[in-house]
Structure 1
Amino acid sequence: MMETSPVYSVARDASGNAWKALFDLAGGLIREYDQEAMVSVSKFVDQLPSVMNQVTEGVSEFKPTPPENREFCKSSYSVANTLLVKFSVDAIDDTDIIEDILRPRVDSIGGQIKKVVLSGTHLTPCIQDVKWQVGSEYTPADALAQGLKSLALNETRVLSRTIADYFRSL
């Protein structure tokens, strides 16, 4: 394990504290509008120091690793009907590889795999609907916020509909 200098550790801690301060500020704004979003942001912020420490120590993969996942799928997967979702802009996507691994197992149990390619990125499933409360006057900031929110959530809505439609079809 690589040792870090005390100066580096303090800088890393300061960086984590800066993130925490930023999210505390955002949390103050969110708290007024959506308690569920506040809980989500809080959980995210609580994980940041641990993740930042892992990254600074050289961790670039988390557990289980993609090869471990592939091996598990190859030897143990047993879901007959499977939906695979691939996003159009995702540099770390393994959907095609997973489909090739799963196909023989799913075929052997008489199931089927459906793969869809949707517009979006690796983070599309993580986008949350932050409630924006318009004040007593509708301002340009309100219009901008609602427009950006609508654009950001469009891909997530398509994903939700796709999953719901898939389950309805079973």
Structure 2
Amino acid sequence: MALDTFGSILQESEREVLNSLSKFVDQLPLVMSEVTQGVSEFKPTPSENRDCFKTSYNVKHTLLVKFNSDTIDETNIVEETLKPRVESFGGTVEKVGLSGNHITPCIQLYTPADAVAQRLKSLSLSDIRILATTISDWFKRFED
């Protein structure tokens, strides 16, 4: 496999990242097979999740992140669903808007692609750093 050849030139510290990428690539045939068979929805469905949230969601402080380039975003709907429930027990729901898209949270700060094309990832890495800082700062507000 090409990843094995590429792995021989990587430093030891980069092998863990390559291993993670290899596991991801190994899963692609199964995912593609499911997609070609018509699997296009998660279980439980988003509406089933929202129904459950209305009665069972018990997280006191909730941060929702809405990305500006996410074409399948449902943050506003989730906010409308959660807010009455969370406010019923004195909690808060906060929504922030950030640059990025649906896969921004999946981007690693350092990937094998960075070893080959670091400059091409600079914008994506900036988005993920802003996301991490936003979430971290939000959690710090609730420290004892």
Provide the TM-score with structure 2 as the length reference: 0.85
Q: How many residues align?
A: 137
Indicate conservation of the 8 Å contact 2:3/2:18, yes or no. no
Correspondence for 1:61 among 32, 41, 63: 41
| Cα displacement (A) at 1:30 | 5.6
| Cα displacement (A) at 1:62 | 2.0
- Structure 1 portions without partners, runs of 5+: 1-23, 134-141
Which residue of structure 2 lines up, in the alignment, with residue 75 of structure 1?
A: 55
Please say if 1:130 is aligned against 2:111.
yes
Correspondence for 2:22 among 36, 39, 42: 42
1:124-154 superposed Cα distances (whole Å, 9 cap, x missing partner): 1111222655xxxxxxxx7xx3322322200
Report SS of the residue matched to 1:82: strand
Correspondence for 1:146 among 111, 118, 121: 118
Correspondence for 1:163 among 128, 135, 138: 135
Pair member with larger Rg = 1
Indicate conservation of the 8 Å contact 1:27/1:41, yes or no. no
- Compared CA separation, residues 119 and 27, structure 1 to 2 (3 A): farther
| Cα displacement (A) at 1:50 | 1.7
Correspondence for 1:100 among 63, 80, 85: 80
Alignment RMSD (CA, Å)? 1.9
Indicate conservation of the 8 Å contact 1:85/1:117, yes or no. yes
Indicate conservation of the 8 Å contact 1:80/1:109, yes or no. yes
- Percent of residue pairs identical: 53
Provide the TM-score with structure 1 as the length reference: 0.73
Where do 4+ consecutive residues of structure 1 move more than 6 Å?
Answer: none
